[in-house]
Structure 1
Amino acid sequence: MTKHNVTGDLPFGEALGIAPGGVISYSSDYDTADDAIYPSRSHFRSYIDGIYMGYKWQCVEFARRWLYINKGYIFNDVAMAYEIFRLNYVRDLVNNTELSLHSFQNGSQRRPEAGCLLIWDEGGEFEETGHVAIITEVFDDKIRIVEQNQDFGKWPNEQDFSREIKAKIGNKNDYWLHCPSGKSTILGWVMQTGDPKHAVLFDVPDKQSFNILSCSAKDNGKVNSPWLNIANDDENAFVDMMQGHKLSSSPSNELNYYQISTVAKEALESATDELHQMFMHATDYALAHPELLAKFALPEQILAKIRTSWANRRNQLITSRFDFAMSENGLKVYEYNCDSASCYMEVAKVQGKWLKHFEVKDGYDAGSDLFNRLVKAWKSCKINSIVHVLQDDDPEETYHAFFMKSAIEAAGYKCEVIKGLSSLSWTADGDIQDCHGDSIKWVWKTWAWETALDELRLDDSHQQQVNEHTLPPTLADVLLNDDIMVFEPMWTLIPSNKAILPILCSLFPNHPLLLNTDFEMNSELEKTGYVVKPIVGRCGANIQLIDQDKKVLAEKFGQFENREKIYQQLFALPCIDNLYVQICTFTAQGNYAGSGVRVDPTMIIGQDSDCLALQVSHK
C-alpha cells in the first residue's frame, strides 16, 4: 500500500516511531527512496542476524521483525498480508521447532492478546494485499497497535503505538473491532497458542480435491465453426499455426478440457505467490555467493551485468510461469520459467474463447484475469517511448508477440513488432534503430536470454567484428545494451536456470512445495527415483526420468546434452485418460494471475504438447 505524500509525511526509511521491544517502524514512502542510500534491489531486503525479514518497509516485514526481536519466532514468507490469517505455525528459531498458530475472527469470544497479529482482508485501502499489525495493548473499549506501511506520518507525542482501534464487547462476551476505514475489513487476530478454543477451523482439503478432472464439451455442431477473430493479429497468427480454429493438434482432443476445484485453484494461487518470493530470495542468495553462482555456467563477462540488472529495483518482472504436478499425491513445483515462457495467449485469451464457443458453463475460465493483470503490470513500468517486441521468425512466437503487443497498447504505450533482426541498424552515434528510424530503448522479447549468451561464445574474430559494429546488430547487441531496458530482465537468467533448484532446497529444507533436488546424485534420490535435467534447457529437451529400479521411464533428446545437470526427485505428472497433464500458473509482477494446462501422451511436456482449456469448477 502507498499513499500520496502530504505535509508531515516522512521520507522512505525515516523512523515513524518505536514500538515495544525497541522495534522501529519506518516510513515506506517508496517515491522518496534515496538512490544513494538504497542503490540496489538487495538494499530493499531486510535481514536480522542473517534471517530474511521481508521487503523494506512493508507491513509484513515489520510484523516478522517485531516477532523475531520480541518472541524469537517468525512466520514463513507470504506474498500478501491477508494470507497470514491461514497460517498454522511459526518457526521458533532458537529451539528450531514449530509452534502452533490459531486464527480468531473479528467478533470471537476469545479476545486478542498483546503480541497477536491483527489481519485485514484484501480490498478497500489495502487493495490486493491486506494488512498486518501487531497488537500491543488490549482494553475493553480499544486496542493499540504498531505497524508499518499504513501511512508515512510520525507517531504523535512520542507514543509507542501507531494508533488505537475502537472495540466493543457483545452480549456473548464476543469482542469486536471497528474498521477505521469503511472500505476495509478486519479478518481477526492470529495468536501463537496451543489452545484452539474459539479459533477458526479451516477445512482440511480432501486430497481428492487436488485431482484434475478430464471433461468433454458437447458436440453442438460447432467443431468446424470459426470461433477466433482473424481480424485480430494475434488470433489470426494462432489460427495460422494451428491450421484452423482449434486448441488441440489432435482431432481426438478437440472437445476435451480440464477442470480443477476451487480448493485446488486457491492452493495454486497461494503456492505461486509464495514460490515467487522464495525464488527471489534464492536469486539474491546465489548472486551473493560466487561459489554457487559458478554452478549456473554463465559466461564470466556477463555476471556483472546480471548483478546490475538485479540491483536495479525498477528492472521488474512483467510475467512468468510456474510448472506444477498436481494430484491427490500433492502439489509440487518442477521449475520457474521467468525468461521467455510460452502459453500466455492460450491461457489469457484462447481457452476462454474456446469455453464460450462450446458453451461450457459449469465453471469459469482459469485464465480470465491474466490479460488485465498483464496490462496493469505494463502500466506500472512508466515507459517513456515506443516498446519494441522482438521475435524470431517462428509461428508460435508470432502470435505471442502480437498478443503481448495488444497488452502493451492497452496499457497506453506505442508498440512495434519486429520479426528477426535484419531490419535493425546502427546509428552514427552507436544506437540501434528500427527500419522507421525509431531508437530501440524498451524491448519485450520472445527470444531466450541464452540465445544472446550463445553469441558471446562465438570465436574471438567474429566477436571483434560484432564489437566494432562492422556487422548488423545482433541479438546480443540489443539485449546486452546498457541503454536498452529489456523485459524480461537479464536477472531472470538466475531463477530460470535449474541450478536454482538445489539452492532452494538448501534454503527451504523439506518445504512441502519443493522436490528434493541436488547437483549430485545421492542415495535419497536413488530411493525415490529421479529426473535428470540440464540446468539450461527448453521444451523438455534432454530430460530423463528414472525410477527407483534405475529403469528409464521417459527421455527426450535435444541440443542441451553437454550442459551441466541437476537431479530432481521423481514426482510424475498425473496420467488422465492417457494424457499426462501439467498445471501451469502465470504471474504478473510476481503475483498469481491465471492457470492453464499442458498435456502430452508422454511423461515429458515439450514444444509440441497441447495447451487445452482449463476451467475452475463452481462446486
Structure 2
Amino acid sequence: MRRELSPPRPDFAEEARKIGFQYAQPDGEPYWDESARYVFSLREIEDDLEKATADLSALSEHVVARIVKDEQALERLRIPRHAWGLIAESHARRDPSLYGRFDFSYSGEGPPKLLEYNADTPTSLFESSVVQWFWLEQMIARGHLPEGADQFNSLHDRLIARWREIAGGAPVHFACLTQSVEDRGNVAYLADCATQAGSWTARIDMRDIGLAGERFVDRLGRRVERMFKLYPWEWMFADAFGKSAAMGATRFVEPPWKAIASSKGFLAYLWEAAPGHPNLLPCFFEDDARAASLTRYARKPLYSREGANVALYDGETLLARTGGDYGGEGFMRQQLCALPSFDGRYPVLGCWLVGGEPAGMGVREDASLVTTDRSRFLPHAIID
C-alpha cells in the first residue's frame, strides 16, 4: 500500500457533469481529490481487506441474531423500547439488507482494524462505485496507469443485482433530507440502480411523507410500500411517526434490525463475541469497569455522524477532539489504533458490503487523526 501523486484530469469538471457527480466540491471545498491515489497489491486486497470484510460481516450477523432477543443489550444500545418489536419482527422475516460499510485502519502491514461499522446510512457510495471506476478507466486509457491496473470495486453490478433480489421489480420510494447535495446524490444513484433492476422509483423528501390511516403515503397519496431511507434509525424512532402502525406496514431498506449494528456500542458486543479477533480492537461501554483497562483509547458517542464528538487519548493526554452535539445516549471506549500517516495524511479505508458480501472500497483521508466531514475522497488502484 502506498500513496503516490497522480495527474488530475484537465477535463474533470466535464467528466463529472456527464456522470452527475454534483458534490466534488461542496461549499467550495475540495472533496474529490485525484491529485494523488492509493495503490494496493492484489494480496493486500484479497487476503487482508476483502477477507476482513467477509469475516466481520458473518460475525456481525451472528451478534445481531443474539442481541435481537436480548432486552438488556437493546437497552444498553439505547434503542427505545417501542422499537423492539419492530426490530424483532424484521429480523424474524429476514428482511434483506442492501449495503453497509466497514471503516478500517490499515497500512499494508498487519491486519486491518475495524474502527466503525456504518450499518444503516453509509454515504460516499457513488464516488466509491462509479466516480473512481471512470477515473480508473480514463487513467489507463490516457497512459497514466498500466493496462493491468484494477480496482476493488464490483459495487455497481452487485447493487443492481441486490435490488432485483430485494424488490423483484416492485415500486420503491427513495427518501432523504434533500437539502443535502451529497445525500441527494447517493439516493439518486441507488434509485438509478433500482430502476435498472426493473423497479418503478420515486424520490421524496423525508418531510413529504404523510400518514393515511395505518399507511405511509407520499404527497401524491401513493402508498409507500417499500422505502429506502437515507435517514438514521435513531432519528426515525425518535420522530413523531416512530410509534405509528405504518412503521410495521412498510418494508424499509435498511431494515429495522440494522438499528442494532448502527450504534457504536455494537463494537463492544463484537469484541465480547470474539475477543482477540485479528480485525477487532478491544472496546467497552464507558460505564463498564473494563473500560479503565484501556490507557490509549478513542472515546466515541453511541450515536454520531461524520466523526463528531470523538476524542483520542493517550493516558491523560488528549491527542485530538472534534466538536458536535452528540453523546446524549452515552459513550464507548475503543483501544486507540491511530490511522497510518501517508505524506502527513491519514487514510481510512471504507470497505463495502452488498447483501452481506464484500463489494468494493473507498479511501477517505484527512489532515486530522479523526476522519471528519472535511475529509477528501481519493481514488485507488490495484497494481502488481
Does the pair score TM above 0.5?
Answer: yes
CA displacement, residues 179-210 of structure 1 (integer Å, 9 cap, x when unaligned): xxxxxxxxxxxxxxxxxxxxxxxxxxxxxxxx
| Residue 374 (1) aligns with residue 159 (2) | yes
Q: CA deviation at 1:610?
A: 1.3
CA 415–478 in structure 1, closer or farther in 2 if over 3 Å, else same: farther
Return the index of the structure with the highest Cα Rg.
1
Q: How many residues align?
A: 374
Q: TM-score normalised to the size of structure 1? A: 0.57
Q: CA deviation at 1:228?
A: 2.1
Give the corresponding residue for 1:227.
15
Rounded to whole Å, the distance in 2 between the matches of 1:276 and 1:420 is 29
Greater relative contact order (Cα 8 A, min sep 6): structure 1 or 2?
A: 2
Classify the secondary structure of the residue corresponding to 2:134. Answer: helix
Q: CA deviation at 1:273?
A: 0.8
Classify the secondary structure of the residue corresponding to 1:447. Answer: coil
Rounded to whole Å, the distance in 2 between the matches of 1:400 and 1:598 is 16
Q: TM-score normalised to the size of structure 2? A: 0.90
CA displacement, residues 56-98 of structure 1 (integer Å, 9 cap, x when unaligned): xxxxxxxxxxxxxxxxxxxxxxxxxxxxxxxxxxxxxxxxxxx
Give the corresponding residue for 1:272.
53
- What is the 5 A alignment of 1:15-26? none
Tell me, yes or no, if the aligned pair for 2:297 and 2:313 is still in contact at 8 Å: yes
- What is the 5 A alignment of 1:201-600? 212-218=1-7, 222=10, 226-230=14-18, 235-238=20-23, 241=26, 248=32, 253-266=33-46, 267-313=48-94, 315-327=95-107, 328-358=109-139, 359=142, 360-362=144-146, 364-383=149-168, 385-393=170-178, 394-422=180-208, 424-427=209-212, 429-455=213-239, 476=242, 481-519=247-285, 520=288, 522-526=291-295, 529-547=296-314, 549-600=315-366
Q: CA deviation at 1:375?
A: 0.8
Q: CA deviation at 1:311?
A: 1.1
Rounded to whole Å, the distance in 1 between the matches of 2:304 and 2:76 is 15
Q: CA deviation at 1:430?
A: 4.2
Rounded to whole Å, the distance in 1 between the matches of 2:28 and 2:245 is 33
CA 323–541 in structure 1, closer or farther in 2 if over 3 Å, else same: same
Rounded to whole Å, the distance in 2 between the matches of 1:225 and 1:389 is 27
CA displacement, residues 402-448 of structure 1 (integer Å, 9 cap, x when unaligned): 100111011111111113423x4444x54332233321101011111
Rounded to whole Å, the distance in 1 between the matches of 2:167 and 2:230 is 21
Q: CA deviation at 1:268?
A: 1.0
CA 454–608 in structure 1, closer or farther in 2 if over 3 Å, else same: farther
- Give the partner amino acid of 1:495: A
RMSD, matched Cα: 2.3
- Give the partner amino acid of 1:304: G
Rounded to whole Å, the distance in 1 between the matches of 2:177 and 2:244 is 14
Tell me, yes or no, if the aligned pair for 1:283 and 1:494 is still in contact at 8 Å: yes
Rounded to whole Å, the distance in 1 between the matches of 2:292 and 2:302 is 21
CA 479–421 in structure 1, closer or farther in 2 if over 3 Å, else same: farther
Q: CA deviation at 1:322?
A: 0.3
Segments of 5+ residues of structure 1 without an aligned counterpart are 1-211, 456-462, 464-473
CA 494–480 in structure 1, closer or farther in 2 if over 3 Å, else same: farther
Classify the secondary structure of the residue corresponding to 2:170. Answer: coil
Q: Which has the higher helix share?
A: 2
Segments of 5+ residues of structure 2 without an aligned counterpart are none
Rounded to whole Å, the distance in 2 between the matches of 1:239 and 1:581 is 18
Q: CA deviation at 1:329?
A: 4.4
Q: CA deviation at 1:241?
A: 4.0
CA 298–256 in structure 1, closer or farther in 2 if over 3 Å, else same: same
